[in-house]
Structure formats: structure tokens, C-alpha cells
Chain A
Amino acid sequence: MVDAGAVWSAQDTTPGAIEAALRELLKEQFERDEGCAPARVLNLVVVVDREWRGEILNRLERVGRYHASRTILCAVEPRRETIDASVAITTEGHHRAGELELTRERIVLDLGQHHLDKLGTIVDPLVVTDIATVIWSPHGHPEAIDALLHLSQVVLVDSVNEPDPGSAVHRARDLAAEAYVVDLAWLRSTPWRERVASTFDPTQWRPELARITSVKARHHPQSAIAGVLFCSWLSSRLGWEPGPLVPANGTLRGHAHGRRQDVQLELVPDPEMSVPGLAGVEIGTAGGMRISLDRGPGGLTARRHDPKGTDSTWTVLGASRGEAGILGEGIRQALLRDPAYKRALERAAAMVG
């Protein structure tokens, strides 16, 4: 549970006044309790539509351990002319004697559409300098991201929110040219990528990687991009040259040119799937091996049909992180660097045209 400590709010205010209030609140907090120390990990600037402000704040509350140390939430109302602001210093609320407790700052700004192309000038005085700044704009507002790019090192996106895989890939590539991109759609596929890497890791199975002939990915009906990223990841890692995916009977199909043979790619929507991301993957090889992974209780259900005709099934253990956990993971990943995503994006561009 999060305790709201010191709070401040004002209507029709300015970034300078907000920053001064924040400084004063931090000083007061320290005077009240020397056992509190402000966390200094990263700034998270979130741009949202005003009517979804509460929902996004709730999502940010549920990210588990991975809270930004300073969150600046900009709630956009189309016709608003002035800036209202509230500032809160929060703690986890279970201070143990002799141990320090961390405090975090949350700034909520209500502002208008016309503020967005100059949002950098509003947010700049409010971010903690010398730590990473991440921007996340889940409801679009590309002009806000453009205005904030010079302040930030990382842009958080969720490609499943784009209308189609083509837009998602192009938007992510454009952003990746300016900043490091953390894509929640990519992070949802992490357990799948880890499992596939593990499955082919034993030395007796590794040669099968060069003999892959088919990859089929089932996905949430609105998450075709999850399948695209999975296939483009395999393409980038295994040296395939993918061609465009084309619609066929509700699926997307295509080929990738491997060194030894072509690989059939197929993305199939799964109407049973209730959460964004992948529902299952199946990989076949020229040697007669078939591997599949499907969501199941307690982890992923793995099945292997090996070239000798033997079948085996097991569970790869792991708890679902849920959408809040994915967002938390996105915040954590903002401090790391994964070179594989950008390479996968390049191959994805060839698949979506």
C-alpha cells in the first residue's frame, strides 16, 4: 500500500511554482522524518487523455517493485487553457526502525492540447537531472513525444496499441532512431523467446535451428504485431531474409529465405486469447522435429515431437506477470539495453512492407 505523505496542489500554476513546491515538500518530508530518502532511479513522464487519468494512475500503482522515482503525469484536456497541478510525496508505508524508507514523487498536471507541442518547456524543470527520463504516451499524442524527446533517453511504447502491425513497426523504428525504445509488445514475448532459446540450447538440438522450415504464431486478435516481432526476432537471429506477410483467410502468411531452405511463416489470431500477446508458437524443422509452446496453468506447456517419432510434454514453469507486471517490466527495462529488439524491428519492416 502506498501512503501519500506531503501533498500540494494549485490551479493555473507554472512549472517554476510546481518545482518550488516540490523542493519545499521534500525539505519538509526530511525534517519530519530523517529516515526517509528520496529514490533517484528514473523519471517517468506519462502523457494521457484526461478521462483515462485515473486508470493509468491505477496501472502505475500496480507495477509492483518497479516504480519510477519521479512520475510526471500529464493529463490532456482538449480545450483547457491553464495548467493545474498536484504534487505528492509517497512512501510504501511500512517503515521499520533502523532502516531507511524510500520516498517517490508524483506530479499530476492537467493541461490543454495546445500545451503539447511545447511540453518540453513545462516538463523540463520538473525532471530530476542526471537520471534517466522515460516517456510514455499510451493514448497517442505523438506531438507530445516529439516535444519531449530531447529530454529523454527512453520511450516506452506498446505496439499492440497501434492500429496494425505496419503502423506499429514504422512508429517504433522512427522512435528508435531518436531514443532507446522499450516496447511492451516485445517484453510480452520475452518468456517465449527465452523458452525457444532454451529448447534449442542442448547440443543435440541446436543443429535443428539451421533446419527450421516453419514458424506458426497464435496471437490475441489485436496482437498480430506480437507474432510479427516473434518471427522477426527468429529471422534476425538466424539470418533469414523475410518477405512480406500477406492476409490469407484471416491469417497472415509469408516466407523467409533461410540459408538452407525457405521458412513458412504464419500468424493466426486466437479468439480465445483474452490478453494481449502470443497464445502459442509452433516450430517445425526439416529433420522432423516439432516444438510447440502454449499458454497453460503454471507456465507454458511445451511439446516436442523429435525426429525419432518420440513425443514429450512438460511445463516450463513461470507465473503470468499480468499487464501491470508487463508495465513494471517496461520501467525496469528502461535502465537496461537489449540490442535484439532493434535488429528484430529491421526484419519486421520487411515483413509488414
Chain B
Amino acid sequence: MATVTQANPLVEGLERLPVHPTTLVIFGGTGDLANRKLLPAVYNLAHEGALPERFNLIAVSRSDIPHADYREMARQAIMEHSRRKPDEQVLSKLLEQVRYVPGMFDDDSVFDRLDGELREFDQQAGIEFNRIFYLSTAPAFFPVIVGKLGEHGLADHRGAEVRVVIEKPFGTRLEEAVQLNREVLSVLDESQVFRIDHYLGKETVQNMLAFRFANGLFEPIWNRNFIDYVQITAAEDLGIGRRAGYYDKAGALRDLVENHMMQLLTLLCMEPPVTFNADEVRDEKVKVLHAISPPRPQHVVRAQYTAGMAEGKQVVGYLEEEGVPEDSRTETYVALQLEVDNWRWAGVPIYMRTGKRLARKVTEIAVTLKPVPHLAFEAEGSVGVQPNQLVMTLQPNEGVSLSLGAKIPGTRMRIRPVNMDFLYGTAFLSQSPEAYERLIMDAMRGDATLFTRDDEVEAQWRIIDPILDNWEKSDAPLPTYAAGTAGPDEANTLMEPGDHWRAI
């Protein structure tokens, strides 16, 4: 007779639910992402008492160093990058549970040693730890590592869960993404795969779902009958810094549009899920992506920044940046117009733009409503009635703003737009945790809601891939924009009559 395990009666009222004891394995444990984000995130979870009651960490990387040296390296990374000053006792206890396995990711002996370390942790504790393999490596190693995990019997573990977290980029073209999915899913079940897009770990991104589906006010107008157009902006004031090697191969389209911005679009346009569970939410997101056709060439603008003024200083253009080939045709700016061809959104233009070295750093979604059908007010002597605009700002000043027409004080009935602002910072006590803290915990809990599913990744690439095909065929000169400006003038050609970009 099957044994039914009762639910744990002790969890009611607890904010932090128990998480099964876990060993986290970071491939690329000495890399930049591990140092700046992953190790500090693990420390902060430990500090808050949020890690599973038993937790181990194994780093795998090429540097041939002993456990002790890696622990010291991890300590330095945490001291430097943690969002809070580390508590020496917590940090020391955490580092006691850290081990290091040196070697190449295609070397079988590395996986044998890893297997030995994992077993030793299990044996010492007398329990089977869940295993999370975090692939924080160059994308070329993703299939290699997953393949080796399979070959060495590490892709499953009797009595415990095995999950693999895969960093972006998940492929650089559709074909690559499909192939990568095929290779990963030949070893793992989709439920074991957690494709990370750290944007989804941001509180304000998740709050878009709360905003849309916890308020009766917006749903009736959230469709083509009331919405005129939508624009999604992810502007950065910084240049590429020291990331020329990565950025020149990726460009703005792959770096931000294919993943982060597409995810924002899906959250904005999806139908309400029946429940907030991983597959229900992702099913709805995928439906949105399936309703988007690749944009026509005239609906895409790319550009590169040239020298200009940014942050009050003269800065060089993209082609003069260190490490960038002088004949590079990589776009540092891209704008496009998309349409979601379904009952709710048909005919509503959705504009997206992202770029480096723009006038200011801002990520926002602006929904412009259709104008009122008849204006009874004076236009003279004022800016007049403007369509309502709902702006959700994701950074830096997270909040929601609604522009409304209001009467200018005086004897005449003159109208100008005013803003009704809601700022997250003013209404909540706590700061948002780092996106990586949330996502690492979700992976340990097995909650994939904020991770990208295989069909989602492929649907994103199906929209983006034809744009890259067109660019590869084109030898037309790349438009440019001066650093510190709002982007190229050509971006205005995307707009339908009457639509306009918001000021950055």
C-alpha cells in the first residue's frame, strides 16, 4: 500500500517555507558572475537565515587552487560585493561548507571528483541533498556540462531532486537555441531545467502581474478598444565598459530585446492565468509570443553611438571603445515595432527600444490610452487634453504613474496633464532583495515560475532570428547617434502617425 506523507503542519504562518537540504554546484565558480552576484547572493540568503537548514556549495572552475584558496577568494568576493556588511561568524560558517573542484568542464575526472564531493556531503549528513548545478560559464560549455552530468549519473539522484540553472544567453540564434534545448533535454527533464533571466527576479517586474491581475481597475481597459499604443524602453546611460568581447558579439538585440524586453512584453500582454503556478503562467506567456510575427525590416532600426557627452564628460564612440573592432557593425541601439496578433491586442503597435549611452538610465513601460472621443474644453492658452498614459517604471524610480487631464486654476476651463504617482519606495518598508537571491531560492524550492521554459526561449528566437538574418544580408551604413542623446532620429520612422516616443 502506498504511503501518503502528511503535509508539514508546522509551516502555517511561516514566511519562509522549509527548503530541502541542498548542495549548490557553481560551474564557473571563479568567474565574474559568481564573484559579483552568486556568492554575495548566497551569503545574503545565509545571513537572513533563508538558506535550507543544511547547505553546501561546491565551485568548479579551471584555476588549479586548493579548497582553502577558493574559500579565501569567495570571502573576498562576498566582502566586496555583498549588499550588506557581512557578519564574520555567518560568513565563516558558510565558508566551512564550501569546496572547490578544479579542472576543465569537458574533463571526466572533474565530474568523478565532483561526484565524490557530493556523495561525501550526503554521507556525512546521513541524508540525500538536493543538487542544483548552476552553469555560470561561457554558453559553449552548457551542452558539454549537461552531457557530462548525464554520463556521470549526476542528472538524477535517488531520494532527492536535481536541477540545472542555465545562465543567459540561451543560444545566439534560433537554430542554436533549438539545438541547445535538444541537447539539454536529452539528459534532463524540462522540469529540472531553470533558464535564468535575472530581469524576472526583480520585484518590479513581478509586480506587473500583481498590478494587472490584483486590480479590477485596469483589466476592462487592457485591450485594443482602449489602448492606443505601448512603448517599452530599456535605456542605459553607460557604455559597454570592459565587456567589448561579449557585447560586440551580442549587440543590443540579443543582449536585451530577445530576453528581458520580450519577457516584459509577455507579462504586459498575457491573459490572466488560472493560478500563479509555473506552467500556467508560462503557458500564457508563450501564447503571447506565438501571436507575434517577426517585424518587417522597415519596423526595425539599429544604430551605433558615436562620441558625445555622457554623465557630464566627453566620451568616445562605440568604435573607439577598447576591444571593439574598428569596422564593427554591432548595434548599440535597437528600436522596433511589433504587434500581438490576437483578439485583445490586434492593431495596437508595441514599440520597443534599448540602447547604450543614451541620455539617462530608465526602464519603463508606457501604455498610452486612446484619446477621448469628443473634446468640450478650450485648447487655447494651454497644452490641452492629452491621452491618458500609464507608465510603469522598473528602474531607477520604481513605480506607476498615471497622467490625467486636470483643470488649470482660473476662470477659464483650460486643461493640462498632471501625474498621479505611486512610488514603491514610499509604500513599502523593505528594499527589494537582489534578483539573484530570489532566483537562487526559487531554484532550490523548485519553483520555475520566474524561469524561462524551452518553448518560450524558442518562441522568442522565432521573432528575433529573422531580424538578424536581414541584418546579415544588409551592407547599408549603420545609423548613428551621439552618446548622451535619446538615440537616432531614424527611430521616429517606426512610429505610426500620432504616436511618439516618450522623452528618455
Contact = CB atoms under 8 A, between A and B. Distances in A.
Interface in B25-48: 46-48
Given A41-B428, A202-B21, A209-B9, 12 more contacts: A40-B426, A67-B429, A69-B426, A98-B361, A99-B396, A190-B15, A198-B52, A201-B8, A207-B5, A299-B49, A317-B46, A319-B87
Interface string A187-220: 0001101111111111110110100000000000
B10 A37 contact: no
Contacts of A69: 426
Interface string B87-117: 1011111101000000000000000000000
Contacts of B429: 41-42, 65-67, 331-332, 335
Specify which of B9, B19, B48, B360 lies most central, judged by the most chain A CB atoms within 10 Å of its CB: B9
Contact of A100 (B48, B124, B397, B431): B397
A194 B13 contact: no
Q: Which one of A66, A200, A299, A332 has the highest number of Cβ atoms from chain B below 10 Å of its Cβ?
A: A299
A102 B399 CA distance: 13
B466 to A, nearest CB: 37
Interface string B407-430: 000000000000001010111111
A250 interface: no
A41 B427 contact: yes
B423 A37 contact: yes
Given A99-B397, A318-B48, A336 B15 contact: yes
Interface stretch (A75-83, A119-127, A137-145, A307-315): A307-315
A66 B428 CA distance: 9
Given A100-B397, A318-B49, A196 B10 contact: yes
A341 B93 CA distance: 31
Contacts of A317: 46-47, 49, 51, 55, 90, 93-94
Given A98-B360, A306-B126, A318-B46, A199 B53 contact: yes
B275 interface: no
B10 A39 contact: no
Contacts of B127: 202, 204
Contacts of B9: 209, 237-238
Nearest to B5: A203
A316 interface: yes
A8 B110 CA distance: 68
Contacts, number: 137
Secondary structure class of chain A's binding surface, majority of residues: mixed
B interface SS class: loop
B11 interface: yes
Size category of the B interface is 35 or more
Contacts of A191: 49
A237 B14 CA distance: 12
A347 B156 CA distance: 44
B472 interface: no
A66 B257 CA distance: 36
A336 B13 CA distance: 10
B325 interface: no
Contact of B87 (A41, A298, A316): A298
Given A306-B126, A335-B429, A195 B89 contact: no
Contacts of A15: none
A338 interface: yes
Interface of B: 5-6, 8-16, 18-21, 46-49, 51-55, 87, 89-94, 96, 124-127, 360-361, 396-397, 421, 423, 425-431
Contacts of A336: 15
Nearest to A335: B429
A332 B91 CA distance: 26
Nearest to B128: A202
26 contacts: A37-B425, A37-B426, A39-B426, A41-B426, A41-B429, A65-B431, A67-B429, A98-B360, A102-B425, A193-B14, A197-B11, A197-B14, A197-B18, A201-B18, A203-B5, A206-B5, A207-B6, A238-B10, A302-B53, A312-B126, A318-B46, A319-B47, A332-B430, A336-B15, A340-B13, A340-B14
Interface residues on A, range: 35 or more
A113 B8 CA distance: 49
Contacts of A195: 53
A100 B21 CA distance: 41
B339 to A, nearest CB: 33
Contacts of B6: 206-207
A297 interface: yes
A215 B293 CA distance: 63
A98 B359 CA distance: 12
A177 to B, nearest CB: 19
Contacts of A312: 124-126
B294 to A, nearest CB: 35
A302 B54 CA distance: 10
A299 B10 contact: no
A38 B94 contact: no
Given A297-B89, A332-B429, A339 B12 contact: yes
Nearest to B425: A102
Contact of B54 (A38, A297, A314): A314
In this complex, the member of A200, A316, A338 whose beta carbon has the largest number of chain B beta carbons within 10 angstroms is A316
B443 to A, nearest CB: 18
Contacts of A339: 12-13
A217 to B, nearest CB: 15
Contact of B10 (A66, A197, A204): A197
Contact of B90 (A299, A310, A331): A299
A347 to B, nearest CB: 14
Given A201-B8, A209-B10, A39 B425 contact: yes
B372 to A, nearest CB: 29
Given A199-B53, A299-B49, A317-B51, A98 B13 contact: no
Contacts of A102: 425-426
Residue of B20, B126, B426, B428 most packed against chain A (CB within 10 A): B426
Interface in A157-206: 190-191, 193-204, 206
A155 B343 CA distance: 50
Interface in A95-123: 98-100, 102
B53 A341 contact: no
Contacts of A319: 47-49, 87, 89-90
